[in-house]
Amino acid sequence: MSARSQQPATLVWMRDRERGSRPALSEEKIVRAAIRLADAEGIDALSMRRIATEMGSGTTSLYRHITNKDELIELMVDAVYGEMPLPDPPGEDWLADLTDVARTFRAALLEHPWLAQQASRRPALGPNVIRQSDHALAVVGRATDDATQAAVVVSSVNTFVLGSVASELAELEAQRTTGMTEDEWQNSVGAYVRQVVDSGRFPHFSRRILDADELEPDDRFEFGLGCLLVGIAAALGCR
């Protein structure tokens, strides 16, 4: 193990941070500016210099509030989680509440496309992230008193949401880079797909092309989530 790996992590949440005042330049304003920039141009566009320019401030002034880019992203993630609705108290139907957890997470990921990549890494540990996690675990806790099972269920739902949104974001990125909508792309490859269908070599693929409906992303998400939750309920012995 390297000397670096033996050092305890220094988290922004562990150090003293000024609260209660509203200076012209504050941690909150910096984080909000960073979120706007990342939403518009992606996480790679972030730099302390760029944010300072957007805010009409000096880069040095930002470092008085935020140590580095990693710390900034941690704060950004937590700020977005803080925007996510959190029912209190939970309802009586744990599956309905877990469905809401998944839908809320998906909405946040679609609103802030950069968040999906961050949420797929090691978990953030800000207070809003922990609050959302605690809520999800409490929901599943009404179906099982096994802490491991509850954690795996929440992880499975989050993984499904991240995978589903990744597909949606990939399509949006393809449209951005190619300048073609999904319908336009399908038309552009139509002649080739027709050759494949007419060859008769791939009957199941051909049936999908000729007979299957093209569902909207919302419908695909709801179908997949419903299947997942039915399986989870069965695995937990719930009806």
Which residues are CB-neighbours of 26 under 8 A, at least 6 positions away?
Answer: 18, 65
Q: CA-CA distance, 204 to 191, in Å (whole number)?
A: 18
Q: CA-CA distance, 73 to 55, in Å (whole number)?
A: 17
Q: What is the pLDDT of residue 17?
A: 61
Q: What is the pLDDT of residue 189?
A: 87
Q: Kindly report the average pLDDT of the chain as a whole number.
A: 87
Q: CA-CA distance, 122 to 133, in Å (whole number)?
A: 14
Q: CA-CA distance, 135 to 107, in Å (whole number)?
A: 17
Query: pTM for the whole thing?
Result: 0.86
Task: Provide the phi-psi class of 29: left if phi over 0, else alpha when psi is between -120 and 50, else beta.
Answer: alpha
Confidence check: pLDDT of 87 > 80 = no
Q: CA-CA distance, 26 to 184, in Å (whole number)?
A: 46
The residue that leads in pLDDT, 26 or 21, is 26
CA triple 212-108-231, angle to 5 deg: 50
Q: What is the pLDDT of residue 7?
A: 46
Q: pLDDT tens, 171-181?
A: 888 887 888 88
Q: What is the pLDDT of residue 64?
A: 84
Q: CA-CA distance, 38 to 32, in Å (whole number)?
A: 10
Q: CA-CA distance, 111 to 39, in Å (whole number)?
A: 8
Asked which of 57-61, 159-163, 222-226, 233-237 is least confident by mean pLDDT, the reply is 57-61
CA triple 110-116-119, angle to 5 deg: 135
Asked whether the bond before 89 is cis by omega within 30 degrees of 0, the reply is yes
Q: What does the pLDDT average to over 24-34? A: 86
Q: pLDDT tens, 170-218?
A: 888 888 788 888 888 888 888 999 999 999 999 999 999 999 888 899 9
Q: CA-CA distance, 19 to 17, in Å (whole number)?
A: 6
Q: CA-CA distance, 149 to 157, in Å (whole number)?
A: 12
Q: pLDDT tens, 91-137?
A: 789 999 999 999 999 999 999 999 999 998 877 889 999 999 999 99
The DSSP line for 101-149 is HHHHHHHHHHHSTTHHHHHTSSPP--HHHHHHHHHHHHHHHTT---HHH
- Which residue, 111, 61, 49, 63, is CA-closest to 85? 111
